[in-house]
Homo-oligomer: A and B are copies of this chain.
Amino acid sequence: MSSILRRSSDRDATAPPAPLGVALYGCGTVGSGLVQVLRARESLAGRVSLDLLHVVVRDIAKRRAVAHPDGVLSRALLPPIDDPRVQIVVELIGGIEPAHTLIVHALNSGKHVISANKAVIAAHGAELESLAAQNRVLFKYGAAVGGAIPILHALRGPLRHEPVRSIRGIVNGTTNYILTQMAEQGTSFEAALASAQAHGFAEPDPFADVSGLDAAQKIVILARHAFGRWVSLDDVELTGIDRVSADDIRAAHAEGASLKLVADARMDGDRIRMKVAPALVSPNDPLYAIRNEMNAIVIDTEFSGSLVFAGPGAGAHPAGSAVFSDIAAVARRVAGRRGS
């Protein structure tokens, strides 16, 4: 019975659980943000005790935003997972491979896995969730959509019994930054993209953002939690912003609207229809006021009306904090299990 209470505890002081060993894959923007959040919170709270044993990177010599103790950085892909002290594997390298291989190996090795990798989750989510269930470990990816916005938590938690009619939103900060700059500064697509890259919002290769692929991966993940089943990325009707011109933006403004890259999933009979495309958004739409790298998601429900969630969709600290939240949730779950 006491485990019920432990799970319902919150910011109140509770006994700190024993430290959990963590292996982190990838130490770019999000990984560095996570390490900074981990270090800040260790001193802040001490309620979740973590031991960052391995940080696996492609290039050990590269200069990084955060320093690591000797022996923590490595390039070896699978050995850190096999370290018996490691209980949680955090995958932040992005892309399908080697991310897929290492997540499968971690789950099959009985390690809890946290990922922020929308590409691998949109492509292999059903398989990975099933592997996690078979191996009785947790697989969490709250940071894969919406950065720090706890949208997946809301869908899996308080809204899990709420029938969802549609879910739509601005889920790619780079394209929203570009469209905002084009509209507000009158810059060209190319200049706005260069500015996004200079601000660190856009990858050196902006294809996934600009083509709408990144948003399509995210709407697949949102649809899974809004409607209860995995859908194929191939079923997303996809139009990027690469052909949006200054004239299109001006025409939208002339109509009193703004042009946004909107991802949308909705029930149509038994089918889930998904679409990512530039769309005219009117001032009454909660998406209208979402500027620059901000994200927003609107859920239309049967009983709870329209719910809106907005916040920074990208950035080292917001994304790092979202990953930390998943790690902390796993740590509490493991602590609860130990005690029950």
A5 to B136, CA, bound (A): 6
A296 surroundings in chain B (CB, below 8 A): 308
The residue in chain B whose Cβ has the minimal distance to the Cβ of A308 is: B310
| Contact segment of A69-77, A97-105, A201-209, A314-322 | A314-322
* Contact (Cβ within 8 A) A325 B138: no
Q: Is A3's beta carbon under 8 Å from chain B? A: yes
Contact A305 B318, CB 8 Å, known A10-B225, A158-B142, A340-B3: yes
Q: Is A66's beta carbon under 8 Å from chain B? A: no
Q: Is A250's beta carbon under 8 Å from chain B? A: no
Q: Is A4's beta carbon under 8 Å from chain B? A: yes
A47 surroundings in chain B (CB, below 8 A): 161
The residue in chain B whose Cβ has the minimal distance to the Cβ of A328 is: B161
A3 to B4, CA, bound (A): 12
A240 to B305, CA, bound (A): 28
A303 to B45, CA, bound (A): 14
Contact A41 B311, CB 8 Å, known A136-B4, A138-B4: no
A156 surroundings in chain B (CB, below 8 A): 10
Q: Is A153's beta carbon under 8 Å from chain B? A: yes
Q: How many copies does the complex hold?
A: 2
A122 CB, nearest partner CB in chain B, Å: 17
Q: Is A276's beta carbon under 8 Å from chain B? A: no
Interface residues of A in 210-269 (CB under 8 A from B): 225, 227-228
Contact A317 B304, CB 8 Å, known A154-B153, A161-B324, A325-B161: yes
A93 to B107, CA, bound (A): 48
Contact A161 B48, CB 8 Å, known A3-B337, A138-B8, A286-B310: yes
Q: Is A162's beta carbon under 8 Å from chain B? A: yes
The 29 sampled A-B contact pairs (Cβ below 8 Å) are A1-B337, A3-B337, A4-B136, A4-B138, A7-B333, A10-B225, A11-B160, A40-B303, A41-B161, A44-B163, A47-B161, A148-B301, A148-B307, A153-B158, A154-B154, A157-B157, A158-B325, A159-B325, A160-B328, A161-B328, A162-B325, A283-B289, A286-B289, A286-B310, A303-B320, A304-B312, A304-B322, A305-B315, A308-B310
Q: Beyond A5-B136, A150-B154: 15 further Cβ-contacts under 8 Å?
A: A3-B337, A4-B136, A8-B333, A11-B160, A48-B161, A148-B304, A149-B307, A150-B157, A154-B154, A162-B321, A289-B289, A303-B320, A303-B324, A304-B311, A305-B317
